[in-house]
Structure 1
Amino acid sequence: MRKFKDLALSIVALFVSYGVYRLSAHLLSSIDNEFLVDFLVQLVFAIMIFLSVLVLKKTWIYRPNMRKMKVGWTAALVLLLSFAGAAIQAIDKIPSISVTGVDLVLFLAKNLLIGFCEESLFRGLIQNSFHDIFGEDDTPHVFLGVICGAFCFGAMHLTNALKPEVSFSGAAAQAMFTFCTGILLATVYFRTGKNLWIVAFLHGINDVFAYIAAGRLSGVNAGEAVVSSTSSLATGNVFLQVLVTFCLFSAISLFLLRPKKLRQLQEL
């Protein structure tokens, strides 16, 4: 029962933190500089999550197993490859960047905070709770924890549908693709000795690419950038695209979590 209690408390921490996040966005909306608002709201979210980790006595999530990281760090390259599409699109937008240096710093800091916040919640708290429930003794059990954690990660992005400018179909498409990306993030997290800092940094960098590609630094506001990114995901046969992505990312995950590698990690 304790294991399920930990999962329930982690989910409660998620919703409480998100509620404060939404409230702070409303309270700070009168500030003229949208980049500053985005940063401050994300900073509030980060503080709430860190407090949740302290209350739940889970600060160990910030102390990875460095011996395991040395064995599994190359797995992080998989994430870089999966982010290549967003990076290429972002490069095309670089000539049109039109923000001040201060706004650029706020933009980068905000996205790195997103990586810290979401990885602390979904990998540090929720995924580890699933690993406690299912165990980490073999590939099927570890992969089940990965899938469940990634599902929660994807489902949370359905909240974008609450924004009036975002359609439900766009938010649903984003949630499904985020679920697939979450499989890789969760796998790399496990393979690198549960190194939250690696996946948080890579997650933040991917969001930087995605927002630049959506025109966030080229005169597009945050709402329009979300609409742009979700609309592009919802084009064509979404179900087929998600199915192919899910199968590909799951195959990569199962390869990275193959029994030989798990035994090697368990010996460290």
Structure 2
Amino acid sequence: MKESKAYLKRRWETDWQPWNDVVVGALKNKGDLLKLGLPMASEGLIDLRGFSAPKEYTTEKTNSGREKTYVSEGIRIKKMRFEGVDFSYADFEGCTFHNCHFKASVFHETRLVNTQYWGCSFQELDFHKTNFGHATFQIEGTLLKRSVENFVRVRFDQANLKEVRMHGQYFGDCQISNCKTDALIFGHCGFEKVAFEGEVKDMTVKASRKVVDFDLTASQLVGFNLQDQGVEGFHFPGGDKY
């Protein structure tokens, strides 16, 4: 029997409340999910389906200075390794990830709105209908010095990449298929064997550091903005020209 999305989310507040506390503790304290003994989902993946990361609250005064507004923001997650995890239907809105590594995991309808990634790496991942709206990816530390590919064999399928900022990221053997790309910006990024499928709308690529086999047909482009000093690595199959 297939478990519903509603059930997968609700269980963390009922039967799985003890597991919820364990996961939250690990996220806040650089824990190791592989050592927690968490239940497994299909295909031997750690089951974080439907999990919602906690929100922290701060207070702010309004412009009038008379009232206080409670503003929620996600937790900060540092130096964690997420390998072999099923993040389907999980919600990490507003979370900040520092120097985290994601590998061999599944993100189906995962909510990653307003998330931030600093010095993170991504390998062998499937983002299907994942919502990245307004997310920011920044490179730092050893990855910045080495200029290595930090997105390797990653597939974005029907993902929401609206107003996402990718800065200093390196993509190798990646695919972006039928995604929402409105106001998506790649700045100072590197590309090797990157292919797009479906319409690409209002996307900007500027000041790329390395471009090899960036496959995109002219017929796909709607408001494509290319701001680059060296564009010889961009490949438009079928003789299309931009």
TM-score by length of 2: 0.24
TM-score by length of 1: 0.22
Task: Indicate the structure with greater helix content.
Answer: 1
Task: Indicate the structure with greater strand content.
Answer: 2
